[in-house]
Structure 1
Amino acid sequence: MKFLADGTHLAIIAAKFSCGAPRAGAEKGPEAIMQTGVFQEIATKANLAISFDMLAAEPAPADQTEAKEKEEERLGIGLGLKRPREVSAAVQRVSSAVYRHARRGRFVLTVGGDHSIGAGTVTGTAKALRDRFAGQQQQRQQELGVLWIDAHADINTPETSRSGRFHGMPVAFASGLAPSPQRGVFDWLEPSHRINLRRFVYIGLRDVDEAEKELIARHQVKAFTMEDVNRLGIDKIMDAALDHLGPDTPIHASYDIDSLDPEWAPSTGFPVPAGLSLEEGVRVARRLHESGNLIALDLVEINPDIAPSLLDLTVNAGCRLIKTALGVE
C-alpha cells in the first residue's frame, strides 16, 4: 500500500469501550473477534508482524457519581453529553494509540467497542498523516479520506442529539462541527486532528435523524443510502465513492457492523433492517483493498450481550470483512 512506510506491520488496537452508547456489551466485541484466531490467520497468510494495544475503561473516580455527572452537564462542562469526561478520555486514548502507529506508517486496525471510538481513530490517523508529510509538496493531496460504512450518520451535535449519547456524534466532533471543547472535555482535540468532510463518504445509510440530514446537505457531504445501493448496485456506489475521494488519497474506513442487514449481523446495539448483504459488505472491503489506498480500518459495534445465540454469525461476518480489507480472503 503506497501510503504505508511500514507495510510489514499490522497494529491492532482493541478499544474495549462502550461508554458512548446507552447500554453495555460492545466493550466485549474485541475479545469476541480475537478469540476466533483471525489475527493469527492474517499474520500467517499476509506474512505480517502484529502488535496489540489493549485499551479498556479505567475505573471511575470515587467522586464521579451520577449526581456529579448531571451537575457537570447542567453547567455545560460536558457540552450536553452523557458521561462527558469518561467518553472524552476514552476517545483520546484511542486517538493517541492510532496516532502512535500511523505516524510510523503502519496499517492500523481498531476493533471496538461502540462507534464513539471513531472520533478517536480518524483523528489519530488524520493528525499522523499531517505530521508525516509536513512540509512536503504533496501534503495537501495526501489529506485523509474517510469512508464511513454505517446504517447511521453519527453526525449529530450535542445541540441536535435527542439522546446525548456520543456514539451518535463522532463525525461531528472529528470534523469540527461540534462546539468548541471546554473545561477538560475534548479539549485535547486540535485543528490537526480534524477530518475534511469534503473527503468523506457515507455508505449504507438508512436511519438518519432530520437534523443530521440537514447537516449532511449543508456541508455537501457525499452520502449513499441503501436506496442508492439497491438502485445502482454496490460496485457503482464504490466507483463513485472512490472517485469522490480521489485516486491519490489515503483512506480510513470505519465499518459499523450494523451497516449489514440484521440477517448477517444480529448481535449489535441498533440493528436496522434492509441493510447491506454480507456479500455487498465484503465487496466494499475488497474494493478498498484493491484501491491500494486503505491505511486504517475500524470494525465496531459487535455486542456479545445481544442475540448471544447468534453471536458467531455476527463475529464471522466481522472477521470476513477484516480479512477481505486486508487482502487475505
Structure 2
Amino acid sequence: MQSGPSPGRKVPNVTLGLRIDFVGASQVLTDGSPRLSVSVEMFGGTMSAHRRGLSQVIRTGGRAVLSRRSRNSAGVLGVPLSKGQTKAGVELTPSALRKAGLLIKMEQLGCSVFDYGDLAFQDVPQTDWNTSWSVACAVHQVAKAVCRVIRDGHTCVTLGGDHSLALGSVYGHSMAQQNPAVIWVDAHADINTPLTSPTGNLHGQPLAFLLHELQDKIPSLSEFSWLSPCLSARDIVYIGLRDVDPAEHFILKNYGLRYFSTRDIDELGIRKVMEMTLEYLMPHSKRSIHLSFDIDAFDPSVAPATGTPVPGGLTVREGMYIAEELHNSGALSALDLVEVNPRLGSGPGAADVTLNLAMDVILSCLGKMREGMHTKGYRLPMPPTEKREEGEVQASREV
C-alpha cells in the first residue's frame, strides 16, 4: 500500500533537481495585460513521471500548464444548463451542490476556493437539426468563463448542468492553455454529429464539434460560428463506455480514438487503465488535463439520479481511483461534473446519494484521500509535563 504526501507538502527530491526561470517571457492576455516571469521546477526520481505530482510549469506557445502550487486553488463555476437534453432538473445541480456544502468541504481540504457564481442563460429560438440557439449562446458563455478561471490561476471546477456544457468548457480550456488532453468518463461517447444523432440532443454531440477530424461531417450552423475545433483524436481518452450508438462506434474505430469500455476495465483493472491513459496522453512530458465526468459513468445502483442511466457501470471505488490518480498526476487543470438530476431516480434519497457521490468525485480530484488525511501543520496534543504537574500540586497545597 503506497501512501502519498500530506496535503500541501512538497514531494521530496529523490535523485536530482532542476529549476528554470523564464524571466521576461511575456504573454499578453485578451485584456491587454502582460503575464511575466514563469518558473519551471522539475525534480527527478524513480517514480513514474505521471504519478509524482511534482511542481512543474511547461511553457508552450505562450501558454502555460498550471504548477502544482496552483492545484491548491480552485475556481468554482456553476452552469445550470439543461437545454442540451429534454429532462428538467439537471439545471438545479450547481445550487444543490453548494447547499450540500461542497465549497466548505473543498476549503477543508486546504483549497483556496474562488466562487465564480452561476452563469445566467437566456432562451432564444431553436434552429434546424434541433440544435438550440440557447445552447450555442450558453456554451459560448461557458467557454469565456472557463478561460477566465484558468487564466486567473485556478483549477476550474465546472458544475453542470448537462454534458453539452463541455462544448464550452473544453474550448475555453484550450483558449487558456494550449493543447489540453481530455479524459471523458461517461457511459456514452457523446460524439454523434447533428446528422447521426438519434435524438438531436446536443449533450450527445459535444466532441463531434470539437474534433478536427470530424469538421467535414458537421453542417454549417450559424449559431456556432464562434467555435472552431480544438482537439485531435489523439487528445482524447474515454473511460467507462457501455452505450455507444452505431455512428459513434464507427467514429471510434475509424478515427483512432482511444477508449476503455467497462469490459476493458473488467479485463485490465482500473489501475492499469489509468496508467495506460496517462502514458498515452503524456508520453514524454506533462500537459494540462481536462476531466469531463458524467455521473452516469457510475452504475445506476450508486448514482440513480441521472437522465440516461445504463446498467453495468463503474463502482464507487473505480470512480474514486480515477479522480485520485488525476489529482496525483499534478496535471489536472479543469473538471466538469455533469448530468446529476435531483428530480430523477427511484426511491427516497436518490438525489442525495447521487449528489454526495458527485461531491466525492470533485473532492478526490482536489486531493481527498480515502486512506484519510490531515491538514498541514497538524500536531498531536502533548500531555502536561511532570514538572508542570508538580508545580500545580504545590500551588494547590499552598491554597
Q: 2:194 touches 2:219 (CA, 8 Å); kept in 1? A: no
Q: Which moved more, 1:306-315 or 1:221-230?
A: 306-315
Q: Does 1:317 align with 2:357?
A: yes
Query: Which residue is equivalent to 1:225?
Result: 261
Tell me which moved more, 4-13 or 280-289: 4-13
Q: Are 1:95 and 1:122, in contact at CA under 8 Å, matched by a contact in 2?
A: yes
Amino acid at match of 1:315: L
Distance across 1 between alignment mates of 2:233 and 2:144:
22
Aligned to 1:77: none
| More helix, by proportion | 1
- Who wins on radius of gyration, i.e. which is larger? 2
Which of 193, 215, 233 does residue 157 from structure 1 map onto?
193
Say if 2:103 and 2:113, in contact at 8 Å, map to a contact too.
no
Whether contact under 8 Å (2:298, 2:314) holds in the other structure is yes
**Aligned CA distance change for structure 1 residues 182 and 160 (closer, same or farther; 3 Å):** closer
- Matching residue of 1:33: 97
Distance in 1 (CA, whole Å) between partners of 2:111 and 2:333 is: 17
| Cα distance, 1:318 vs structure 2 | 0.5
Give TM-score scaled by structure 1 length: 0.86
Give how far 1:180 is off.
Answer: 5.4
8 Å CA contact 1:150–1:204 kept in 2: the answer is yes
For residues 269 and 218 of structure 2, what CA distance do their matches in structure 1 show?
39
Aligned partner of residue 146 in structure 1, secondary structure: strand
Contact kept? 1:19, 1:83, Cα under 8 Å = no
**SS of 1:213 mapped into structure 2:** helix
TM-score w.r.t. structure 2 length? Answer: 0.72
Decide which moves more: 261-270 or 245-254: 245-254
Is 1:95 the counterpart of 2:143 in the alignment?
yes
Q: Deviations over 1:203-255 (max 9, x none)?
A: 00000011101111111000000000011110011011111101412110000
Relative contact order, CA 8 A, sep 6+: which one is greater?
Answer: 1
Deviation by residue 1:167-213 (Cα, 9 ceiling, x = unmatched): 1000111224255574631111135xx12220210000000011101
In percent, how many aligned pairs have the same letter? 38
Residue 222 of structure 2 aligns to a residue whose secondary structure is: coil
Choose which of 57, 65, 78 in structure 1 pairs with 2:121. 57
User: Which whole-Å CA distance do the structure 1 matches of 2:177 and 2:250 have between them?
Assistant: 30
- Greater Cα offset, 229-238 or 174-183: 174-183
1:273 aligned to 299, 311, 324, which one?
A: 311
State the AA in 1 paired with 2:237: V
- The equivalent residue for 2:184 is 148
CA distance in 1, matches of 2:117, 2:133: 22
2:209–2:218 Cα contact (<8 Å) kept: no
Do residues 10 (structure 1) and 50 (structure 2) align? Answer: no
Unaligned runs of 5+ in 1: 74-79, 131-142
Number of equivalences: 299
What residue ranges of structure 2 are gaps of 5+ in the alignment?
1-54, 57-64, 370-399
**Which residue is 1:46 aligned to?**
110
Measure the CA separation in 2 of the matches of 1:268 and 1:11.
25
Asked whether the 8 Å contact 1:249–1:293 carries over to 2, the reply is: yes
Which position in structure 2 is the counterpart of 1:189?
227
Give the residue type in structure 1 aligned to 2:226. W
Give the residue type in structure 1 aligned to 2:305. S
Pairing 1:236–2:272 present: yes
Q: What is the aligned counterpart of 2:208 among 161, 168, 172?
A: 172
Q: Which residue of 2 aligns with 1:21?
A: 85
CA displacement at 1:158 relative to structure 2: 0.7
